[in-house]
Amino acid sequence: MVRLGRRPPTPKGLTRNKTKWTDRWRRIRDGKAKGDWATPAAKKILRDALEDLTHGKCSFCEGRPRATGDVEIEHYIAKTTDIDLAFEWANLLPACHNCNRTKGNTNSPGTAIRPDEDDPELYFWINPANGELEALSDSDAEMAESVRLTVELFDLNRGELCVNRVLMMETVKRWLNRVREVGEEVSPDLEEELREFVNPRTHHKLALRQVLKQAALADLVELDRQRFERRAG
Ligand SMILES: [Zn+2]
């Protein structure tokens, strides 16, 4: 998980239809009508806008949902808990099926870390031995609890994610070793690899940035953040 860029304005289609969509969902939840919480057309409007926020990835695990299906619409406060938040733009985040399903209707995320409000890099550390997310060693008890809660809420230490984080870290380490070997003359293929690392759509940015930070390459970390968060450098 890494910090997301500034949330774009509420999509026009949502502003126009919010009351209608909310009323429809209220009738369904109250058993007065049948159907999903949103129509396919409504979901498409929301999904298109949300994908933009994370460059098509899951807000929580940084995986690419397209590999296993569509991006899903995660309600940070569950849509069954507070109907008025079901179509509240600030309550919606893009998620993969696994993260969305694991959280389910948990309605009190408590002090869990939100990538659109917090900076997860101030909380998380990836254990290079097994790829698991842990609290940074200098975390206080409250921060450590937020990390534990967030990992549990979205099952962020599931096997496939840990494997992918380790793979990312090893790929970056190999690249760094090759850069060190060649010294000043960085070859086009090494540059091409770097462009791919800092591509906003590349997954597992937390893993990338952790290795770059350890190698004292703060400028590359900042470049990656700027591109992902769409800030000017
Ligand atoms: Zn996910």
Tokens of 227: 């591109």
CA of 60 to the centre of ligand 1 (A): 5
pLDDT of the residue at 108: 65
CA of 23 to the centre of ligand 1 (A): 29
Task: Report yes or no: 75 and 85 within 8 Å, Cβ to Cβ.
Answer: yes
DSSP state of 176: H
pLDDT of the residue at 232: 76
CA of 161 to the centre of ligand 1 (A): 9
CA of 96 to the centre of ligand 1 (A): 4
CA of 97 to the centre of ligand 1 (A): 7
CA of 53 to the centre of ligand 1 (A): 14
Task: Kindly report the backbone phi and psi dihedral angles of residue 134, in degrees, each rounded to the nearest multiple of 5, phi listed first.
Answer: -135, 170
Task: Kindly report the backbone phi and psi dihedral angles of residue 178, in degrees, each rounded to the nearest multiple of 5, phi listed first.
Answer: -70, -40
pTM, two decimals, is: 0.93
Residues lower than pLDDT 70 in the chain: 66-69, 107-108, 233
Tell me which long-range contacts 146-149 makes (C-beta under 8 A, separation of at least 24): 146/111, 146/112, 146/113, 147/113, 147/123, 149/109, 149/110, 149/111, 149/112
Nearest to 2 by CA among 112, 115, 91, 99: 115
> What distance in Å separates the CA atoms of residue 94 and residue 233, rounded to the nearest whole number?
26
CA-to-CA separations, 231 to 5, 192, 200, 226, in angstroms, rounded:
8, 22, 12, 5
The domain ranges of the chain are 12-103, 120-229
The torsion of the CA quartet 50, 51, 54, 60, rounded to 10 degrees, works out to 80
pLDDT of the residue at 14: 98
CA of 153 to the centre of ligand 1 (A): 11
